[in-house]
Structure 1
Amino acid sequence: MFSSDRKIKKLGLNAQQGRIIKYIYEHQDEGLIQKDLADTFGRTTASITSMLKGLEKKGYIRREIPANNERQKNIYVEEKGVNLIETFDKVFMQIENEVTDCLTDEEKESFKNILIKINNNLK
């Protein structure tokens, strides 16, 4: 296990939760709803709902019912969640460095391009 993995576990969250908090933060001004997260992350709305309840309980996010549509809840990151994003970014960078440390710059670039190609193929 990478030392960075242990750091993520110490935060009481997993990598997926960290990515979701960051995504919410980056898109919260767009009226982000749970279905958007389910579509973006390829998860069921039920699993997203469960995850959001946990994040809300820990004080990382809040869900609000907008006045113009009482059937949905917009999602926002709380200050505690914003602070966590910076920590996750540092940990993810450490993981990337640990994984690619044995590669040359040229190999890192090739690896990155292959991952982008695979990701695009999965969409």
Structure 2
Amino acid sequence: MRETGRLVKRASLQLSRDLDQFAKPFDLTGTQMSILDFIFQAEKESYLQKDIEQEFHIQRSTATGILQGMEKKGLISRQISAQDARQRSVHLTSKGSQIALRCQDFFKEQEEAFSQNFSEDERRIFQKILNQMIKKEIKNVK
């Protein structure tokens, strides 16, 4: 497992570097780009800060700092949630949406490049393995 863990870590770092490199001309980080993409995909009408904390496995203080920076750059707006006054809902601005569209293109290109190197069965098995590793990680945290 030690070799597998090391390889997964190296692959993760490479993906993070690629995303950070893509985000740099926008004066953003890879994490900020990922958050824009997450909100842009909008499975829900609005997201609370705690949704972002859970999705990215980050602490409240970390999420607050990232979101404040994104708000200052005009990418998002944060408002008191209609459902819970203790929470803030996070919404993309038009500027944030435009950058998120570019981010979608980047992720699509990355996915296509990955798909060219592996068969459908190999990709399915790889995703299954990653999902099992993630579930184990979550179980260990709780």
**TM-score, normalising length: structure 2:** 0.67
1:69-102 superposed Cα distances (whole Å, 9 cap, x missing partner): 6543221111111122221111112223334533
What amino acid does structure 2 have at the position aligned with 1:79? S
Which structure features the higher share of helix residues? Answer: 2
Q: Which residue of 2 aligns with 1:112?
A: 127
Q: Which residue of 1 aligns with 2:102?
A: 87
Matched, 1:96 2:111: yes
Q: Which residue of 1 aligns with 2:137?
A: 122
Q: Report the alpha carbon displacement of residue 43 of structure 1 after superposing the two structures with TM.
A: 0.8
Number of residue equivalences:
121
Matched, 1:35 2:50: yes
Q: Which residue of 1 aligns with 2:89?
A: 74
Q: Taking structure 1 as reference, are residues 33 and 99 closer, same or farther at Cα in structure 2, changes over 3 Å only?
A: same
Q: Report the alpha carbon displacement of residue 115 of structure 1 after superposing the two structures with TM.
A: 2.1
Q: Report the alpha carbon displacement of residue 52 of structure 1 after superposing the two structures with TM.
A: 0.4
Identical pairs, percent? 25
- Could you say what secondary structure the match of 2:90 adopts? strand
- Could you say what secondary structure the match of 1:29 adopts? coil
What amino acid does structure 2 have at the position aligned with 1:85? A
Q: Taking structure 1 as reference, are residues 97 and 64 closer, same or farther at Cα in structure 2, changes over 3 Å only?
A: same
Query: CA–CA distance in 2 between the matches of 1:110 and 1:69?
Result: 40
RMSD: 2.7
- Could you say what secondary structure the match of 1:59 adopts? coil
Q: Bigger shift: 68-77 or 54-63?
A: 68-77
Q: Taking structure 1 as reference, are residues 101 and 115 closer, same or farther at Cα in structure 2, changes over 3 Å only?
A: same
User: Does the CA contact (< 8 Å) of 1:8 and 1:91 recur in 2?
Assistant: no
Aligned pairs for 1:56-67 (under 5 A) are 56-66=71-81
Q: Taking structure 1 as reference, are residues 24 and 103 closer, same or farther at Cα in structure 2, changes over 3 Å only?
A: closer
User: Does the CA contact (< 8 Å) of 2:76 and 2:96 recur in 1?
Assistant: yes
